[in-house]
Amino acid sequence: MNEQFALSRRSFLSLIAVAPLGVATTTPAADHIPIGLELYSVRGALQKDLSGTVRAVAKMGYDCVEFFSPYYRWTQDEAKQVRRELDDLGIHCYSTHNDLESFSPTGIGKAIDLNHILGARYIVLASAGDLSSIDAWKRVAETLNKADETMAGQGLHAGYHNHDVEWRPVEGQKPLEVIAANTAKSIMLQLDVGTCLEAGSDPVAWIESNPGRIRSLHLKEWSPEKGYKVLFGEGVAPWKKLLAAAESTGGVEFYLIEQEGSDYPELETAERCLAAFRKVHA
């Protein structure tokens, strides 16, 4: 997720026109689990017009969005303008996807400030890379723990997002199991369903073995034939069992659709996935 986007002049001016920054809480209602969009799914549109893309996503009926790493380049003023847009649209940002810079001693302060402005609850490490030893993965866990201690003092928590590499054994152990066993329970384990499936692991079993820690999921579909380009509900994910496990055991607070491509334009893909999700999660 290295694509860069910034607030274009058009986007920035449209954001300035919205209402003042609100103070409404971004905590999900107890009787409703929000369904959101990881904005990497519409990265092309987002790069061209951030404001217009967020508005389009809100119009589809998404409850929340997750910004990915280029948001970290925003100024505080730019983040405030984005927050005004979110408030105006009635949608939220519960988490952001981040590079290691956001967890470093020199970068964590900025990450906390921006996430406070956006109203987020979790600062998620998007990737630790392809590490070749269990000791290296334990150091990632230490980084998460230290960051979480700092974030907790500011009302935030750290999160970790898996890819397929975390399911591939290193020295006889799965890195994601090492992360889970060596991090504080307050650290969210954000499950990327598609990469779990591609690696041949069982996402339902993973949820059930980590009660209360799967507070967010990337609902990415996968199939042997089309990989990640298959739409939600058209691959091999056992969605009904998975969502039931997330809600009964995992402690899910919000869902996020993520799509890495399809046979349709980005925004149409996001809309189709949301419609499919609603049919499954009726």
Residue 151's H or E segment, with its range, is: helix 134-152
**In whole angstroms, what is the distance from residue 220 CA to residue 241 CA?**
15
**In whole angstroms, what is the distance from residue 88 CA to residue 66 CA?**
17
Q: What are the tens digits of pLDDT across the range 136-151?
A: 999 999 999 999 999 9
Q: Is the pLDDT of residue 10 over 90?
A: no
Full-model pTM: 0.91
**DSSP single-letter state for residue 207:** H
Q: Is the pLDDT of residue 6 over 60?
A: no
The owner of tokens 């409703």 is: 32
Q: Is the pLDDT of residue 11 over 80?
A: no
Q: Is the pLDDT of residue 35 over 70?
A: yes
For residue 254 the two structure tokens come to 């919000």
- Please provide the distance, in angstroms rounded to a whole number, between the alpha carbons at the two ends of the chain: 32
Mean pLDDT of the chain: 92
Q: Is the pLDDT of residue 13 over 80?
A: no
Beta bridge partners of 189: 160
Nearest to 93 by CA among 61, 59, 62, 126: 62
**DSSP single-letter state for residue 233:** T
Ranges of each domain in the chain: 9-13+29-280
The amino acid sitting at 1 is M
**CATH architecture, domain defined by 9-13+29-280:** Alpha-Beta Barrel (3.20)
